[in-house]
A = this chain, B = another copy of it.
């Protein structure tokens, strides 16, 4: 029941630890007969390599730290799932930290993971500016990939959806449907997604109406804000409400229903992200689907390429932007 070590296998198979290690790790050719004996002894004793000892020696734990703002944000679970699968497929285990949307906590958790000798970090930064320093520090020590949200240019490798392209899809769709009086309900926060989606709306909305780019209300990424925003803009009778994410859109939908507005006849409501309950809203929410699986796969791929870099700062940081897809459902 006690742990079986290399030494035990060596003793049982009558050769040295070095040889056993070589056979089991396959790092150097070993005589066929010896190899057979060793392997037989290993399975007979039920040998399982000790990852801690291996990590100490190899100076690599096979572990990746994932720090995210809030796992309860409904967009993240699917992303975490795909990322976990992708990293597991690459033989790496995932350490998880939820930093409660607080940049200071985020910095602390990143530091703790570095102390734990993670081989790399995947970060969904809390804030574009406030997270930057901690992220940059981390990137100096291990490979870092920023996921979903950015952190300023050149700080680390980054994988995210092309928010501008997503917003363009929305505006094209609204244009094709003849909508001409859109409002944008966004978030004032300083996450890169909030800023990019808003900027893309402002850049593209003029196609519908020269006045449209100015019709913007900013709050936060929440259902409550979606409700409140409707109260503010409904008096001006928009024919479309473009929301910076699905939470806002669901809130807007709720309030519009209470106000007796017809969706989508009177006003279209469009979300962003395609969170699980977007399709459950009534009417089902038209939204921009993020390619979650591809985002995760791409993040894992970038890490894989950087792995082995003992000294980071090799080459410039890379940015991957994936194209989203418009999911036209009932709300507009």
- The answer to whether B49 touches A52, judged by C-beta atoms less than 8 angstroms apart, is no
A207, CB-defined interface residue at 8 Å: no
* Interface check A25, CB cutoff 8 A: no
Query: Which of A85, A96, A113 is the most central at the interface, judged by chain B CB atoms within 10 Å of its CB?
Result: A96
Instruction: Check if A84 sits within 8 Å of B55, measured CB to CB.
Output: no
Known contacts A56-B53, A88-B97; is-contact A71 B61 (Cβ 8 Å)? no
* B93-A94 in contact (CB<8A): no
> What is the bound-complex CA distance between A116 and B96, given in angstroms?
15
| Size of A's binding interface in residues, CB under 8 A | 44
Contacting residue for A280 out of B51, B52, B88, B277, CB 8 A: B277
Interface contact B282-A74, CB-CB below 8 Å = no
Which residue of B113, B115, B277 is within 8 Å of A277 (Cβ)?
A: B277
In the complex, the answer to whether B115 meets A48 with C-beta atoms within 8 Å is yes
Q: How far is the CB of A330 from chain B (nearest CB, A)?
A: 12
Interface membership of A43, Cβ < 8 A: no
CA distance A227 to B66 in the complex (A): 37
Cβ-defined partner of A84 (8 Å) among B74, B97, B223:
B97
**Does residue A80 face the partner (Cβ distance < 8 Å to B)?**
yes
Q: Output the nearest chain B residue to A275 by Cβ-Cβ distance.
A: B277
For the complex, is A276 an interface residue (Cβ under 8 Å from B)?
Answer: yes
Which residues of B have CB within 8 Å of A297?
Answer: none
A60 — nearest CB in chain B belongs to which residue? B52
User: CB of A78 within 8 A of chain B?
Assistant: yes
Q: Are A117 and B51 in contact (CB under 8 A)?
A: yes
CA distance A14 to B61 in the complex (A): 32
Measured CB to CB, the closest approach of chain B to A293, in angstroms, equals: 12
B72 x A81 contact (CB < 8 A): yes
Closest to A257 in B: B282
Q: How many angstroms between the C-alpha atoms of A98 and B71 in the bound complex?
A: 14
Q: Given the interface contacts A51-B117, A98-B81, does A254 sit within 8 Å of B280 by beta carbon?
A: yes
**What 0/1 pattern do residues 125 to 136 of A give for CB contact below 8 A with B?**
000000000000
Q: Which of A67-95 contact B (CB under 8 A)?
A: 70-72, 74, 76-78, 80-81, 84-85, 88, 93-95
Contact A116:B98 (CB < 8 A) given known A80-B71, A81-B71, A254-B280: no
Bound state CA distance, A84 and B77, in angstroms? Answer: 14
Tell me whether A93 and B70 are in contact (CB under 8 A). Answer: no
Complex CA gap A85/B96 in Å reads 11
Q: Tell me if A95 and B98 are in contact (CB < 8 A).
A: no
CA distance A257 to B254 in the complex (A): 15
Residue A112 is within 8 A (CB to CB) of chain B in the complex: yes
Residues of B within 8 A of A76 (CB): 77
Residue of B nearest to A284 (CB): B254
Cβ–Cβ < 8 Å partners of A78 in chain B: 72
Q: Is A250 located at the chain interface by the 8 A CB criterion?
A: yes
Residues on B with C-beta less than 8 A from A95 are 63, 93-96
Contact in complex: A84, B96 (CB < 8 Å): yes
Give the interface of A toward B (CB within 8 A). Answer: 48-53, 55-56, 61, 63, 66, 70-72, 74, 76-78, 80-81, 84-85, 88, 93-98, 100, 112-113, 115-117, 223, 250, 254, 257, 276-277, 280-282
